[in-house]
Structure 1
Amino acid sequence: MNDMRPQQAIPVAEVASGKGKQDENFPVGSLLLDRRHRPHVHAYYGFARAIDDIADNSLLSPEAKVARLDAMEAAVLGRFGGEAASAGELAHAVRLRASLALTGVPATTATDLIVAFRRDAVQPRTPDWDDLLLYCRYSANPVGRYLLALHGESEATAPASDALCTALQVLNHLQDCADDLATLDRCYIPQDWLAQAGLDETALRASAAGPALRRILDRLLDEVDALNRLAATLPGQVVDRRMRLEAAVIVGLSHRLATRLRREDPLAGRVKLRRNDVAGSLLGAARAWRR
């Protein structure tokens, strides 16, 4: 790891994942981004997927997950102590470390993600809304900050970017609320909201959301709507035209997914974006491209 030289080229990496494309709402290394940035974006997302897969690995104990995540952090920071992770996992960390050296993007955009995945390993429940926001602070917001830093954007974009990334994370939790509980024994719905409604997480095991649970889902969507209103200001703050278009498309998709989750039941089946959602978001974002 200490032999990595800043002038080395970073190859385009395939994003390793145990999840299929049907689980992704938004494109990784989108063709909307400048070609010169895409290898770095792939390196970042490859690392993010690798540590996500560690946290979701049902064959590992919580302690083993934390040890592997600690090893990934050591590797991306160029430190010793990476023995607990596999060679394949460490390759993602080494690749990202070289990429960060080339681009000057802060390593915290990677290590903050590890904070969230350590939490996933040891804390399968979310006590309240503030705790969910804190989780999103580490699990989602670093992604937006990474992309903006890679494009040389001002730190003034952070509030709107954070709002967008948090909204996307909450929407993803809503999409997967039943599956997360069934397959990972993990629940991101605030436990105090469930208790106030006289429910517990077993409500998520039903084939359809009852009225009380539907109100909780809508309450989460109310919070998402507020985040999306702030997120809508992001494209206008971004200087790089291609990154502005990317941001505008994702803002549009976030709004459209929130609308779908209002109308559809995530317990009855995974609520997903459709082709017309993508087409509509692209058309809406065209205005940002022409600015």
Structure 2
Amino acid sequence: MNTDEQDVWGSADVSSGKDAGDENFPVGSLLISRRLRPHVHAYYDFARVIDDIVDTDQLDPPAKIARLDAMEAVVHGTRLAPHRADAQTAVRVGQTLRETGVPTTTATDLIVAFRQDAVKNRYDSWEELEEYCRYSANPVGRFLLELHGEDAGTFGPSDALCTALQVLNHLQDCADDLRNLDRCYLPRPWLAQAGASIDDLRGRHASPGLRRVFNQLLDRVDELNRRASLLPGLIRDRRMRMEAAVIVGLSKRLATRLRGEDPVAGRVKLSRADVLAALAGAVRTLV
């Protein structure tokens, strides 16, 4: 590897060490067939690493974008990757995409979002946030559907579900994102209209104005979840239908929890009872 290549990749392996157990929602769970599970894990590992690249404090924004560009080239097969954990995730996801025929954009669209995260830390409208989710979240659902051979009629409800999940995650992490990354996804005009400010996220509890903004976002999430409820009924693969039904149920339950709990005071999480209830509800999709 020449000096220019070393400069792009740097010396830091930014893998966070997180795995599927750190997520709210099942990733490559037992509901996915054993045959497809390795592909799902390859995709997840790649997504985790590029997320870590943009969130690390070891790289400045230009270095983050250069590293993301290099990862994208590896996925396309136009660049070699060094033999270390973070870079090799791009090799494996590229192999998965070539083996399965799933569109490469399901991986590279994620990089579009993370390049944006490297340079943009405030949002001025719901539409801006939706556009971000189009790249940061929606490709995940499309990857799973394409992997299972589902048709394009599933994409709309899947996009709604993935956008809902992304916004819920932003709400869960709103205080930590500001404190650790100086990043805030809450639309600034909504904050101003509610008599709140981004600095309210630095408090010990949500201010009344901040709570109103949370509820506005949850109103949008509820609408997305209503559209997402159509997804299981459109999926042909029995196991994938069950997986989708579980995730829709968990999304709805997390939205309900965020209505009643304060994400500024502490991270709002799903309970074991939430998971069991979502599983029970999903079983009905198989009848």
TM-score range, shorter chain: over 0.9
1:42 maps to: 41
Measure the CA separation in 2 of the matches of 1:20 and 1:233: 29
Deviation at 1:18, TM superposition (A): 4.3
Is the counterpart of residue 129 in structure 1 residue 131 in structure 2?
no
Is the counterpart of residue 229 in structure 1 residue 226 in structure 2?
yes
- The residue type paired with residue 179 of structure 2 is A
TM-score (norm 2): 0.92
Residues 54-73 of structure 1 aligned to structure 2 (within 5 Å): 54-73=53-72
Deviation at 1:71, TM superposition (A): 0.3
Change (3 A) 1:20 1:42: closer
Change (3 A) 1:21 1:182: farther
- The residue type paired with residue 229 of structure 1 is R
Name which of 256, 260, 273 aligns with 1:259. 256
Contact 1:72–1:89 at 8 Å: present in 2 too? no
TM-score (norm 1): 0.91
Deviation at 1:79, TM superposition (A): 1.0
- For each residue in 1:88-119, what CA deviation from the matched residue of structure 2 results, as whole angstroms up to 9, or x when unmatched? 22211111111111100000000000000000
Change (3 A) 1:20 1:89: closer
2:5 maps to: none
Contact 2:46–2:89 at 8 Å: present in 1 too? yes
Is the counterpart of residue 247 in structure 1 residue 231 in structure 2?
no
1:104 maps to: 101
Which ranges of structure 1 fall in alignment gaps of 5 or more residues? Answer: 1-15
Measure the CA separation in 2 of the matches of 1:212 and 1:23: 31
- For each residue in 1:133-170, what CA deviation from the matched residue of structure 2 results, as whole angstroms up to 9, or x when unmatched? 00000000000000000000011100000000000000
Measure the CA separation in 1 of the matches of 2:166 and 2:18: 16
2:115 maps to: 118
Change (3 A) 1:95 1:21: closer
Measure the CA separation in 2 of the matches of 1:178 and 1:247: 29
Contact 2:196–2:207 at 8 Å: present in 1 too? no
1:6 maps to: none
Residues 72-221 of structure 1 aligned to structure 2 (within 5 Å): 72-80=71-79, 87-221=84-218
Measure the CA separation in 2 of the matches of 1:217 and 1:106: 35
Contact 2:197–2:210 at 8 Å: present in 1 too? no
- For each residue in 1:214-245, what CA deviation from the matched residue of structure 2 results, as whole angstroms up to 9, or x when unmatched? 01000000000000000000000000000000
Which ranges of structure 2 fall in alignment gaps of 5 or more residues? Answer: 1-14
Change (3 A) 1:121 1:270: same
- The residue type paired with residue 56 of structure 2 is N
- The residue type paired with residue 168 of structure 1 is L
Change (3 A) 1:133 1:254: same
Structure 1 vs Structure 2 CA RMSD: 1.4
Measure the CA separation in 2 of the matches of 1:87 and 1:283: 41
1:286 maps to: 283
Deviation at 1:289, TM superposition (A): 2.1
- The residue type paired with residue 164 of structure 1 is L
2:30 maps to: 31
Contact 2:54–2:118 at 8 Å: present in 1 too? yes
1:9 maps to: none
Measure the CA separation in 1 of the matches of 2:210 and 2:76: 43
Question: Secondary structure in 1 aligned to 2:30?
Answer: coil
Measure the CA separation in 1 of the matches of 2:68 and 2:20: 24
2:9 maps to: none
State the identity %.
Answer: 65
- The residue type paired with residue 53 of structure 2 is I
- The residue type paired with residue 25 of structure 1 is N
Contact 2:249–2:281 at 8 Å: present in 1 too? yes
- The residue type paired with residue 61 of structure 1 is D
Runs (4+) of structure 1 moved beyond 3 Å?
Answer: 16-23
